[in-house]
Amino acid sequence: MRQPKGFEDPAYSNHVCLLRKALFGLKQALRQWYTTFCNHLFSLGFSPSKADPSLLIFHQGHTKMFLLIYVDDILITDNNKDAISTFLHQLNQTFALKHLGSANHFLGIRIQHKQDKYFMSQESYAISIIQQANLINCNSAANPSCTKLQVDIAMESATLSDPMTYQKITGALQYLTITHPDIAYAVNTLSQHMHAPQSDHNFLLKRLIRYIKGTTNFGLPINKSDLHLTTYSDGDWASDPINRKSTSGYCTFLSSTLVSWTVKKQTTISRSSTESEYRALAASTADTIWLKRLLSGFFITPNDPVDLHCDNTSAIALAINPVYHAITKHIEIDHRFVREHISNNLLRLVPIKTEDKIADIFTKPLSTPRFKKLRDKLTISSDPFV
């Protein structure tokens, strides 16, 4: 470290400045702000969630408050309006707050509500991506992916031929998947070619934007219902034609509300479809256990095991029957991980027909009728409050 230019002290040339206050532009600023803010909340009676450090919980008597932190944006809810008013008054004595009332927008996500129904969407953000791609007047598409590429795609993708534009838009699309899980597979595929996008990738990106053009007002509904978790898992074996790695996809519903989903290429090559499906089962199991731990922070402790749906009978037999240990030495950790949670009655593997497997939408490109059917099962829909 050196003394800043213009402020050198010749008498103490080896001395450096002592930082007394975290500056917003420094790398340590966010951590310092989080530590300062959380320490103050701890003094007011809050405690961190065991599953998510950005979630703080207050519980005294019949009063429960849940506070979510994202840098300097705060979302808070409770079951006592007087308690939350008192808390905000106490907090305002130490930090400068701007109380915006009921949540309508949070981190670019629009939140609409009517009685016990909520709807989350990112219409403004989606339109800004379309404008950034200079495709505001394009025709909409019914499917974000295609099962077979056209032959003459070079001219079709001329608009997005700049690699910098491709990278910028693909990066922006990742945030759109928060309320648009139906594009998660397409965005994951495009993100794998950020370093050197080719003409076919540009074509697929344009097709995805055309799909978003027709679904800007789509989003995720949240309905009040029971609190039973249900998970769907799928693995597409050797789906990458270059390195033959498989793709894992899974999603979890809290009753009828979609709360979690993931699309990810597996890190190692699977030698069979059973192995591919089993690795996806292990990943979905870890996510489901985390969701159960998160729900416990909201004082929700479901006693019934979580139904984990899978259409691969060999993977289900492998998870239940320990006889197969000899042929699973190379995936022994995943094998033991899944079987342990099944034996502890935390999970229950349920066979499902392939046509009813919702996680199919996260692992492969689908025909338009099949895609729309699974999109409806994901509960993704247009704005119901329009």
Mean pLDDT of the chain: 88
pLDDT at 75: 92
pLDDT at 323: 60
Q: How far is CA 302 from the centre of its chain?
A: 23
Task: Check if the beta carbon of residue 233 is closer than 8 Å to that of residue 226.
Answer: no
Per residue in 37-65, pLDDT (tens digit) is 999 999 999 999 989 989 999 998 888 99
The model carries a pTM of 0.87
144-to-183, 288, 321, 371 alpha-carbon distances in Å: 6, 27, 40, 9
Q: Of 3.30.720, 3.90.660, 3.30.310, 3.30.450, which CATH number belongs to 1-101?
A: 3.30.310
| Spans of all domains in the chain | 1-101, 121-214, 225-352
**Domain with residues 225-352, CATH architecture:** 2-Layer Sandwich (3.30)
Structure-token pair, residue 2: 């050196």
pLDDT at 22: 61
pLDDT at 119: 95
pLDDT at 325: 55
Among 96, 97, 71, 67, residue whose Cα is nearest residue 84: 67
What residues of the chain score a pLDDT lower than 50? 155-157
Per residue in 221-279, pLDDT (tens digit) is 998 888 899 999 999 998 888 889 999 999 999 999 999 999 999 998 988 888 899 99
Per residue in 200-233, pLDDT (tens digit) is 889 999 999 999 999 999 999 998 888 899 999 9
pLDDT at 162: 82
pLDDT at 143: 94
pLDDT at 343: 87
